[in-house]
């Protein structure tokens, strides 16, 4: 148990929080899965809206179950979960973003997953790692997310490029060629600063062999590999290949459509946005793996499904989670949302098995790296955000910026 850490975390987040009422499955007698009951489920963003329809179909096949889905906006999700945990009123099932799980597992409010029935080998390794905290699994991977390189194939041809860049050196050369020969305003769109700049930096950091924390949770953000990664990242701004100032709410797809930006790193949902919003460039763009330094490694994102330790409907909750995360449920979820399945068997049929673009996503997920499950991960990454911005704005060297972040992060790691 992490009782002291849990109480500290909640006290910091909600000053008037009540002491949590239960720990690690002490929620009383569990209702049988075949009994008549109502499951409460919280899911975030678009997933919350889409899950309502899935729940209705699930109820038709399971007449004893009513599934009450509450969609929650990502902007208020963390606050709402913390308040519910403090009051002992978490839902039976909840969606856990990758940066959340470690925090709530540390509070002892999540039910450990039965790894005898939920098998590690069914899921992408990074998705499984993201659902693990302190050696225990607390969530079942639901969908995965990563970043790959989007590029305009027509502009690349005009620039004389033979396919997408395969290395970080080639990425810089391609950005220069696109500016010089295809008359693009920028060569590559990457985030210069602000909240979650680290999301844009992960592909550089991991592909250079760097990390924020090592496997023993020791800060290593100022390692030679990480410094080289930030030097590479900052080089795009130094050379005028990337824009130093990006307005809040910036939508890169608009500039990708116009040709002002010929390359950017993005997630899988952007493919549908481009097809729906910009049909004129269909067939003029493609996706490719993250260019490699030591290797081609991208970030692993996505969400898992967790069950409240206080739930009195754990049996039914586990059955519903299983329905959503087995191969059939994952394939159905992809068709509804285009969220990439975490269950690898779901990739063996339909478009997931045959679409060349989707093959890129699967291959990238196989090497993707999950962020460590740390209760204060958001605070930790904010220090990296600051370091990146100081470099992109020419205020600090990569080494000095990451030395400072290293010192600050050392006091945040648990």
51-55, 288-292, 372-376: range with lowest mean pLDDT: 372-376
pLDDT value at position 147?
Answer: 97
Whether residue 318 is predicted with pLDDT greater than 90 in this model: the reply is: yes
Neighbouring-strand partners of residue 230: none
Distance CA 5, CA 125 (A): 28
Specify whether the CB–CB gap between 388 and 194 falls below 8 A: no
Nearest-angstrom CA–CA distance, 144 and 347: 12
Mean pLDDT of 264-292: 96
- Residues 189-226 have pLDDT tens digits of 999 999 999 999 999 999 999 999 998 999 999 999 99
116 has pLDDT over 70: yes
- Band of pLDDT at residue 171, cut at 50, 70 and 90: very high
> Given the DSSP bridges, would you call strands 136-137 and 132-133 parallel, antiparallel or unpaired?
antiparallel
- Calculate mean pLDDT across residues 132-141: 95
Q: What is the pLDDT of residue 167?
A: 98
Within 13 Å of residue 78, how many CA atoms lie on the same side as its CB? 15
Residue in the structure block whose two tokens are 């809206």: 49
CA 45 to chain centre: 14
Q: What is the pLDDT of residue 247?
A: 82
Residues 6+ apart with CB under 8 A from 66: 37, 38, 39, 59
Strands (E), 27-135: 37-44, 65-72, 93-97, 132-133
Q: Where exactly does CATH 3.40.190.10 map onto the chain?
A: 3-146+300-370, 148-297+376-410
Q: What is the pLDDT of residues 331-346, one digit of tens each?
A: 999 999 999 999 999 9
Residue 87 CA to residue 98 CA, distance in Å, equals 23
How many other CB atoms are there within 10 angstroms of residue 189's CB atom? 25
CA 212 – CA 222 distance, rounded (Å): 8
The answer for residues whose C-beta is within 8 angstroms of residue 47's C-beta and 6 or more apart is 95, 143, 303, 337, 339
pLDDT tens, residue by residue, 80-101: 999 999 999 999 999 998 888 9
Say what the pLDDT of residue 204 is: 98
The domain made up of 3-146+300-370 has a fold known as D-Maltodextrin-Binding Protein; domain 2 (3.40.190)
pLDDT band at 324 (very low <50, low <70, confident <90, very high): very high
The pLDDT tens digits for 355-401 are 999 999 999 999 999 988 888 998 999 999 999 999 999 999 999 99
The CA distances from residue 398 to 170, 240, 297, in Å, are 21, 17, 21
| Topology (CATH level 3) of domain 148-297+376-410 | D-Maltodextrin-Binding Protein; domain 2 (3.40.190)
Measured distance CA(378)–CA(183) in Å, rounded = 39
> Chain-wide mean pLDDT for the chain?
92
């Amino acid at each position: 148990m992490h009782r002291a850490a849990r109480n500290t975390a909640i006290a910091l987040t909600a000053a008037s929080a009540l002491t949590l009422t239960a720990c690690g499955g002490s929620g009383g007698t569990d209702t049988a899965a075949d009994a008549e009951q109502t499951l409460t489920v919280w899911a975030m963003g678009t997933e919350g809206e889409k899950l309502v329809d899935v729940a209705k179909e699930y109820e038709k096949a399971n007449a004893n179950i009513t599934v009450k889905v509450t969609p929650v906006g990502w902007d208020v999700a963390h606050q709402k979960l913390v308040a519910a945990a403090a009051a002992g009123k978490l839902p039976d099932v909840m969606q856990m973003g990758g940066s959340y799980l470690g925090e709530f597992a540390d509070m002892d409010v999540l039910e450990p997953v039965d790894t005898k029935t939920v098998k590690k080998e069914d899921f992408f390794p990074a998705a499984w790692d993201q659902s693990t905290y302190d050696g225990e699994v607390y969530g079942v991977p639901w969908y995965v997310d990563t970043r790959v390189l989007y590029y305009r194939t027509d502009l690349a041809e005009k620039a004389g490029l033979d396919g997408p860049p395969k290395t970080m050196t080639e990425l810089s050369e391609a950005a220069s060629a696109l500016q010089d020969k295809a008359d693009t305003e920028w060569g590559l769109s990457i985030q210069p600063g602000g909240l979650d700049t680290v999301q844009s930096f992960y592909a550089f950091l991991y592909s250079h062999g760097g990390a924020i924390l090592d496997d023993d949770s020791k800060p290593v953000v100022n390692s030679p590999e990480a410094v080289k990664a930030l030097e590479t990242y900052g080089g795009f701004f130094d050379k005028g290949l990337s824009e130093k100032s990006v307005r809040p709410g910036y939508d890169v797809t608009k500039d990708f459509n116009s040709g002002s930006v010929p390359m950017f790193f993005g997630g899988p949902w952007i493919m549908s946005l481009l097809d729906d919003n910009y049909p004129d460039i269909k067939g003029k763009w493609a996706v490719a793996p993250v260019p490699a330094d030591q290797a081609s490694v991208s970030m692993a994102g996505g969400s898992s499904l967790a069950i409240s330790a206080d739930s009195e409907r754990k049996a039914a909750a586990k059955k519903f989670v299983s329905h959503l995360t087995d191969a059939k449920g994952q394939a159905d979820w992809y068709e509804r949302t285009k969220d990439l399945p975490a269950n690898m068997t779901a990739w063996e049929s339909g478009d997931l098995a045959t679409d060349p673009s989707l093959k890129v996503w699967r291959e990238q997920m196989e090497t993707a790296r999950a962020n460590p499950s740390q209760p204060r991960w958001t605070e930790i990454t904010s220090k990296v955000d600051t370091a990146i911005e100081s470099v992109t704005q020419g205020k600090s060297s990569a080494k000095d910026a990451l030395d400072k972040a290293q010192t600050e992060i050392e006091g945040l790691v648990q």
